[in-house]
Amino acid sequence: MKDALPLPLLIGTAFVVTALWGFNFVVIAVGVREIPPLLLACLRFVLAAFPAIFFVRRPKVSWRLLAAYGLFLGVGQFGCLFTAIRWGAPAGLSSVILQSQAFFTALLAVAFFGESFRWHHAVGLVVSGTGLVLMGWAKTPKGGLSMPLSALVLLLLAAFMWAAANLLTKKMGRVDTLGLMVWSSLVPPLPLFALSWAFDGGGAVLTALRHLGWVSLGAIAYLAFLSTLVGYGLWNWLIVKKGASAVAPFSLLVPVFGISSAWLVLGETLTPSHLVAAGLILGGLAVHVIGGRVAMEALFQRAK
């Protein structure tokens, strides 16, 4: 039985976490203006790991699973996400598209764990897929495409990598998510640094490191401490207190905060097509996440 937790505290904490994660996309957009994206991701995980590993217990999982999780999440998801935003993906829309990881997770779970693919998964996939297609073809207020196709592909790849990391988490079983984030953060820095050196050039990497300004340092600190340690720490606390099924739907607020903060801070503008596309994506995600639960409750009420 989960611990009693006042509803206002549950909702307030969930809002804080999703606001931190939503604003995270704005911070990434600001950070990649001055730091090569893969290098920025590298620095994020360095600070997420140190000095936290001296205070946070290592989760009870094998080093092999821990390393695989760090590669999929750190190098795969965040490497692709940071690069996509550097290549022109708007921060707000990126926060929406990245949530397609829920569908990749469901499909991979069917393929590798034999889980059932229910009607609400299919409906949600079709609705959100329609939104993604519309998002890819939506025009900006100036008449151009909302983002380069290469950036959109990278965002979908980031979502797929996130889904692969989710499957690894499922394989691990019950695990402390904060400990998992801290200790898996030991894995991405070296691969990300090597990739940044190879693709951005050693000169660009060294120049960025020598000229880290306050804005860059603030972005790195936010990504490492507030988004990663505080965000995952509070999220893990909520799951322990109320259970994953009660907490998970609040993650749908992340794109809401992502879009609104990108509009307020970065001045990103959305056309009616963008709003319709975002609505379809979020609506499909809502059906995917809570559709089955609503249907089961309705059947239960009829049976009473």
DSSP assignments along the chain, one per residue: -PPP--HHHHHHHHHHHHHHHHHHHHHHHHHTTTS-HHHHHHHHHHHHHTTGGGTSPPPSS-HHHHHHHHIIIIIIIIHHHHHHHHTT--HHHHHHHGGGHHHHHHHHHHHHH-----HHHHHHHHHHHHHHHHHHHPBPTTSSBSS-HHHHHHHHHHHHHHHHHHHHHHHH-S--HHHHHHHHTTSSHHHHHHHHHHHH-HHHHHHHHHT--HHHHHHHHIIIIIIIIIHHHHHHHHHHHH-HHHHGGGGGHHHHHHHHHIIIII-----HHHHHHHHHHHHHHHHHHHHHHHHHHHHHHHH-
Distance of CA 29 to the CA centre of its chain: 14
* The pLDDT value given to residue 295: 43
For residue 164, the model assigns a pLDDT of: 92
304 residues of the chain, pLDDT tens digit each: 455 667 788 888 988 999 999 999 999 999 999 999 999 999 999 999 999 999 999 998 999 999 999 999 999 999 999 999 999 999 988 988 898 887 788 888 888 888 777 777 788 778 877 877 776 666 665 544 567 889 999 999 999 999 999 889 888 888 888 899 999 999 999 999 999 999 999 999 999 999 999 999 999 999 999 998 898 888 878 877 776 666 767 777 888 888 889 989 998 877 787 778 878 877 887 787 676 554 444 433 443 4
Q: What is the pLDDT of residue 233?
A: 84
pLDDT computed for residue 259 by the predictor: 86
Residue 143 burial (C-beta neighbours within 10 Å; 0-12, 13-18, 19+): exposed
Who contacts 232 (Cβ-Cβ below 8 Å, separation ≥6)? 177, 178, 181
Predicted pLDDT at 199? 95
Q: Whole-model pTM? A: 0.85
In the beta sheet, which residues pair with residue 43? none
User: What is the rounded CA–CA span in Å between residue 243 and residue 126?
Assistant: 28
Return the residue matching tokens 């879009």.
259
